[in-house]
Amino acid sequence: MVMERDIKDIVGVLMRVLDGGEVLPAELNDLDFEAEGELEAALNDAFIKLQEFAYDRDLRLSDPARDRAMRAELQGCLDRIVKASP
């Protein structure tokens, strides 16, 4: 199912970032998803937070506390996606 693959792509990016990795803004342009209800809201929130994370890279690299805080927000997004997934 295409929807499941697309969601797995977003979850994969989240997991990579939560494991200490980075994501480039261009990578996010390729992410696409369709969902409904709470899952859609959780995916939209994760996508926005991933964009902020990618674009704030220089700020995060110079401020470890900011980096940890942003990664913690992304963990919350992942938790919400898992909870909302069928």
pLDDT tens track for 59-68: 999 999 999 9
Selection from 70, 61, 83 nearest residue 11 by Cα = 83
Selection from 25, 28, 17 nearest residue 68 by Cα = 17
At 2 the pLDDT is 40
pLDDT tens for the chain, residues 1 to 86? 445 667 889 999 999 999 999 999 999 988 888 889 999 999 999 999 999 999 999 999 999 999 999 999 999 999 999 999 98
At 3 the pLDDT is 56
d(CA 70, CA 73): 5
At 6 the pLDDT is 78
d(CA 61, CA 2): 35
